């Protein structure tokens, strides 16, 4: 779950196509709501995919280069250890190590791969329902209730996706009763230590109050 944002669009977009149940226009719903959601999920999926591949390939390259640079800097291939080349190799090694650490943390925290696959799956499900509806096949063969069924399924799909996102966001904020104390977007040993320190500070105060 890459920054975490709600995958459904704001309520203002909904108001653009929805008027009232009595004057509901399915064509307006298709043109505004469906096309808007498809455009949003397509864009989000492409963006998350690009970030994931760019970060992942950079991580792979830097991870591969770092041990090679370390070996070169410690060998006698470059001559004197006090030379400018040795210093340059040392600086590059530090830089690649730093990049590896940052990218690994970013991929774990912002969950670009998970966001990419999730948004792509939602987009494909919307497209599938849209194609079945337009072809009047399957559950949409009954023309009397196909409009209502189509809207029900699409809105249910979007609601499930939003609930899943909210559940992921809540799960990331707490784990086994421990909150993200250091604000790095993940629950780790450092958060557990900070939580224990906070409790140890609060306990004496509670006793004094009693």
**Over the stretch 183-197, which tens digit does the pLDDT of each residue have?**
555 556 666 666 666
Percent of the chain with pLDDT strictly greater than 90:
52
| CA of residue 14 relative to chain centroid, distance | 24
Q: What is the pLDDT of residue 74?
A: 76
Taking residues 128-153, report their average pLDDT: 93
Please tell me the least confidently modeled range out of 69-73, 123-127, 137-141: 69-73
pLDDT (tens digit per residue) in 76-124: 666 655 577 778 888 999 999 999 999 999 999 999 999 999 999 999 9
Domain locations in the chain as residue ranges: 11-175, 178-210
Q: What is the pLDDT of residue 170?
A: 63
Mean pLDDT of the residues in the chain: 79
Taking residues 26-53, report their average pLDDT: 94
Q: What is the pLDDT of residue 175?
A: 53
Q: What is the pLDDT of residue 63?
A: 96
Q: What is the pLDDT of residue 120?
A: 95
Q: In the predicted model, is pLDDT for residue 14 greater than 90?
A: no
More confident residue, 198 or 93: 93
Percent of the chain with pLDDT strictly greater than 70:
65
């Amino acid at each position: 779950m890459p920054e975490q944002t709600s995958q459904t669009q704001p309520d203002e977009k909904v108001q653009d196509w929805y008027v009232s149940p009595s004057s509901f226009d399915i064509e307006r719903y298709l043109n505004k709501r469906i096309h808007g959601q498809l455009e949003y999920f397509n864009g989000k999926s492409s963006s998350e995919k690009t970030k994931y591949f760019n970060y992942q390939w950079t991580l792979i390259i830097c991870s591969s280069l770092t041990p090679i640079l370390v070996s070169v800097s410690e060998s006698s291939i470059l001559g004197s250890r006090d030379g400018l080349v040795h210093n340059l190799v040392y600086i590059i090694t530090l830089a690649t190590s730093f990049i590896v650490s940052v990218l690994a943390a970013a991929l774990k925290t912002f969950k670009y791969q998970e966001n990419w696959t999730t948004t792509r799956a939602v987009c494909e499900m919307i497209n599938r329902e849209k194609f079945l509806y337009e072809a009047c096949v399957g559950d949409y063969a009954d023309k009397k209730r196909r409009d209502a069924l189509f809207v029900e399924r699409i809105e249910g799909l979007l609601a499930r996706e939003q609930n899943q996102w909210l559940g992921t966001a809540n799960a990331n904020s707490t784990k086994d009763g421990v909150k993200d104390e250091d604000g790095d977007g993940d629950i780790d040993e450092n958060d557990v230590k900070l939580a224990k320190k906070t409790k140890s500070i609060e306990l004496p105060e509670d006793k004094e109050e009693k």
